Amino acid sequence: MKAVKDGADRHLSIAGPLLAASAIAAGLVDEYHLFLVPALVGGGNRALPDDVRLDLDLVDQRRFDDGTAFLRYHRTGA
């Protein structure tokens, strides 16, 4: 997987909880875009994998009138 990342000179978006979790666990994700919505919903697939710890730097944030927050992070050292 490292060869894929090292050879990439373009951006690639990864969506969907299972694919995202696999890409995060493989160390392929350098930037994270998170939308925090002021509602709790139980169940579903987890987008974040178990046993992975990453340090992130906040590079952008926005708050919307409905209370939703957008957070953009870069992985530290990426």
* pLDDT, average across residues 2-13: 60
Residue 67: how many CA atoms within 13 Å on its side-chain side? Answer: 3
In this prediction, residue 8 has a pLDDT band, given cuts at 50, 70 and 90, of low
Q: Tell me the pTM.
A: 0.74
Largest Cα–Cα distance of the chain, in whole Å?
Answer: 43
Q: What is the CATH number of domain 2-75?
A: 3.40.430.10
Where do the structural domains in the chain lie, given as residue ranges? 2-75
DSSP 28-76: ---EEEEEE-S-----S--SS-TT----EEEEEEEE-TTS-EEEEEEET
Question: Closest Cα partner for 55 from 38, 78, 21?
Answer: 78
* pLDDT, average across residues 24-32: 90
Give the dihedral of Cα atoms 11, 15, 18, 19; nearest 10 deg: -20
